[in-house]
Amino acid sequence: MADPMRIRAQVAGDKATVRVLMSHEMETGLRRDGAGALIPAWFIQEVSAAHNGKTVLNAQWGPSVAKNPFMQFSVRGAKAGDKITVMWKDNKGDSRTDEATVS
Amino acid sequence: MQTRREMLHHSAAVAALLAGTGLLPTAAQAAWNKSAFEAKTLAECVKALGGGVPAESKDVSVTGPDIAENGAVVPVGCASTAPGVKRLLLLVEKNPSVLAAVFDVTDSVDANFNTRVKMGQSSNVYAVALMNDGRALYAVKEIKVTLGGCGG
């Protein structure tokens, strides 16, 4: 299991700004190790976010997204105390879900 | 000529294969679009995602630094003010595969996303908005990279 995500969700007017920092290697599959062998691709493919259990965002990522990915988005109508859940899944089938409370 | 029975049999077999490799997510919409991520040009990529011929538009914006010192971590953002956006894409023109990220816009989120991408060399970065009516609008920004982010 990968390390937890860091999620911060803050109210800004009638919406909440959500910032997510994930912990992931995001290998492109194009780099070589010291012996010249290709390092296999290992990256997050799917990301989704939910507001109080309702999916509000789906994203698909490629290997071009930087290591330990950062993502920022705004959820309309989110209030303090609401739950924001973020889920990712990588190309090896590993996944992680974390939850944060809007403040 | 295939019979209907054979067709059904084949599609079931393919579905089983996909499920076996974990490529068939519960929501079909969230399926990772392999052909889009393997596209080498903006037009190919938009086509793979079902968009029309891309047209430049002022309603779409791409944000990022003019010069990025480290290509491994380049903060970029894409946004659109036009109504009826279905998806926002981020592309880096000179990366081995141009498409970096696809964000599906719903009514509950703003069409405004920020993330960080890797860039192998100085290149144009595109933000593309796929509209509900099939149009593809884009904005472009050149980002210069001092140190590439794709090498070992």
Measure the CA–CA gap between B101 and B25, rounded to whole angstroms: 18
CB pairs under 8 A between A and B: 112
- Cβ pair A59:B112 closer than 8 A: no
On whether any CB of chain B is under 8 Å from the CB of A42, the answer is no
Q: Count CA atoms within 13 Å of residue B146 on its CB side.
A: 6
What tens digit of pLDDT does each residue of A67-92 get? 889 999 999 888 888 999 999 988 88
- Cβ pair A65:B116 closer than 8 A: yes
CATH class entry, domain B32-147: mainly beta
Measure the CA–CA gap between A101 and A86, rounded to whole angstroms: 11
Identify whether the C-beta of residue B70 lies closer than 8 Å to the C-beta of residue B152. Answer: no
The domains of chain A are located at: 6-28+38-101
What are the angstrom distances between the C-alpha of A29 and each of A38, A43, B147?
7, 9, 20
- Cβ pair B151:A31 closer than 8 A: yes
pLDDT computed for residue B12 by the predictor? 60
pTM, full prediction: 0.77
CATH architecture designation of domain A6-28+38-101: Sandwich (2.60)
Q: Which residues of B touch A77 (CB under 8 A)?
A: 108
Searching chain B, which residue's CA lies closest to the CA of residue A29?
Answer: B150
What are the angstrom distances between the C-alpha of B99 and each of A13, A42, B121?
33, 16, 15
Of B30, B73, B96, nearest to A66 by CB-CB distance is B73
The domains of chain B are located at: 1-29, 32-147
Beta bridge partners of B141: B125
Q: What is the pLDDT along chain B (152 residues), one digit of tens a residue?
A: 566 666 666 666 655 555 544 444 444 444 677 778 877 788 888 888 887 888 888 888 889 888 888 888 899 989 888 888 888 888 888 888 888 888 888 888 888 899 999 888 888 888 888 888 888 888 989 998 887 665 54
Backbone angles phi, psi at B107, to 5 degrees: -65, -20
What tens digit of pLDDT does each residue of B7-48 get? 666 666 655 555 544 444 444 444 677 778 877 788 888 888
Q: Any residues with CB less than 8 A from the CB of B18 and at least 6 apart, and which?
A: B24
Mutate to test the interface with B, among A64, A90, A94 (most CBs of B within 10 A): A64
Q: Which residues of A touch B110 (CB under 8 A)?
A: 15, 73-74, 76
